[in-house]
Structures are given as structure tokens and as C-alpha cells.
């Protein structure tokens, strides 16, 4: 596989392409639908699987479109089913999550190590850094919450296995389609 530079990676796919626009829109819709199946354990603790749609979007279309899909999906999810007041920090987190998936997965071979690394980076940046900051700003919760850390440690292998399975499946379907 040809190695691409950061500049090319940041370009990703052209959003003006009908195939890209349609694919990204479908993944935003899937992200929004999957966000409805988030299990709330408490006010500040939840488990969801919407990240899988963002991972696919970032892998297929690159970091910019992956980030845009995350932000649009988060905003659309709030419009369709508001859950409290809108807070732009979570939209920023969704953008960053899609961007990270694009940076680390776009036009790269899918290996277990790469998926583990990607899942770890998203967990550290979004789940354990940004989310506590947003929750602290909104509710005054502690920045370091042991239940959140425990949940992320438990969910890390589950998220990694699910992401690997879904991305491998998408890659095999795309190869059949091409």
C-alpha cells in the first residue's frame, strides 16, 4: 500500500463527490441512530456504540469528513432527541473523535495493533480528558472520577474488538464492491 503524507491524509476524500457525500450522510444517520442506544448508568456515565459509525467514516473518508460527520451527528442527535441542554463541548469531542479515526485509520492497513492504538487514543483524549472537562463545566463533577476510569478500562477491550470486527467487515465488503 502506498504511503501517503499528512497533507494528503488531511485532504481525505472530496466532500463534493456524490459517493462520498452519500456515504458520509448514511454514516451520520447510523451514528445518530446508534446514539439512541446508549445505556445510561448514571447522570455522567453511559455506554454506547455510536463510535463505530464514526470509525467507519474516518477510515473510509479521512479525518476532515470523519470529524464533520461526528459534529453533524452529535448535533443531529440532539435535535432529534434532546437530552438536557445543548453543550458544544460534546460536539467538539465528536468532531475530534471522528478526526482521530480518520488520521489513524484512513488508507492504512487494519491491524489489531493499529485498532488498539486508535481505541486507546480516543479513550484517553475524548473519554478521559475532554468528557470530564465538559461534565465539570456543566455539573461541577470531579475531573478525575474513578467510575469513569473503571468503565473505560473495562470497555477498552470490548470497544477494540467491536471496532476491529466492524472495520474488517466493512473492508471486506468494500473489496467485493470495487
Tell which phi-psi region holds residue 84, choosing left (phi > 0), alpha (psi between -120 and 50) or beta: left
Which pLDDT belongs to residue 5? 63
Task: Read off the pLDDT band of 12 (50, 70, 90).
Answer: low
Instruction: Judge contact between 102 and 118, C-beta under 8 A.
Output: no
Which pLDDT belongs to residue 38? 82
Q: What is the CATH number of domain 6-177?
A: 1.10.1760.20
Which pLDDT belongs to residue 177? 64
| Domain range annotation of the chain | 6-177
Q: What residues have CB less than 8 Å from 22, skipping those under 6 apart?
A: none
All three cell numbers of 157, joined, read 477491550
Which pLDDT belongs to residue 160? 96
What is the pTM assigned to this prediction?
0.89
Which pLDDT belongs to residue 24? 96
Tens of pLDDT, residue by residue over 23-74, are 999 999 999 999 888 887 776 567 789 999 999 999 999 999 999 999 999 9
d(CA 152, CA 41): 13
Tens of pLDDT, residue by residue over 91-105, are 999 999 999 999 999
Tens of pLDDT, residue by residue over 124-146, are 999 999 999 999 999 998 898 88
All three cell numbers of 35, joined, read 446514539
All three cell numbers of 18, joined, read 456524490
- Which is more confident, 151 or 67? 67
Q: What residues have CB less than 8 Å from 33, skipping those under 6 apart?
A: none
d(CA 47, CA 126): 14
State the maximum Cα–Cα separation within the chain, in Å, rounded to a whole number.
50
Instruction: Judge contact between 86 and 61, C-beta under 8 A.
Output: no
- Which is more confident, 78 or 42? 78
Instruction: Judge contact between 12 and 64, C-beta under 8 A.
Output: yes
Task: Read off the pLDDT band of 178 (50, 70, 90).
Answer: very low
Rounded to whole angstroms, what are the CA distances from 6 to 71, 121, 151? 22, 18, 33
Which pLDDT belongs to residue 145? 84
Instruction: Judge contact between 58 and 93, C-beta under 8 A.
Output: no
Amino acid at each position: 500500500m502506498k504511503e501517503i503524507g499528512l497533507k494528503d491524509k488531511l485532504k481525505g476524500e472530496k466532500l463534493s463527490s456524490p459517493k462520498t457525500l452519500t456515504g458520509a450522510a448514511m454514516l451520520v444517520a447510523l451514528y445518530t441512530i446508534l446514539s439512541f442506544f446508549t445505556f445510561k448508568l448514571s447522570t455522567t456515565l453511559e455506554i454506547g456504540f455510536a463510535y463505530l459509525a464514526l470509525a467507519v467514516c474516518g477510515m473510509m473518508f479521512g479525518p476532515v469528513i470523519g470529524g464533520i460527520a461526528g459534529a453533524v451527528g452529535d448535533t443531529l442527535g440532539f435535535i432529534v432527541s434532546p437530552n438536557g441542554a445543548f453543550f458544544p463541548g460534546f460536539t467538539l469531542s465528536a468532531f475530534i473523535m471522528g478526526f482521530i479515526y480518520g488520521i489513524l485509520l484512513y488508507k492504512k492497513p487494519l491491524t489489531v495493533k493499529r485498532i488498539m492504538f486508535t481505541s486507546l487514543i480516543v479513550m484517553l483524549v475524548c473519554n478521559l480528558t475532554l468528557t470530564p472537562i465538559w461534565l465539570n463545566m456543566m455539573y461541577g463533577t470531579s475531573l478525575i472520577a474513578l467510575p469513569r476510569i473503571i468503565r473505560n478500562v473495562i470497555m477498552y477491550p470490548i470497544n477494540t474488538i467491536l471496532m476491529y470486527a466492524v472495520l474488517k467487515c466493512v473492508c471486506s465488503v468494500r473489496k467485493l464492491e470495487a
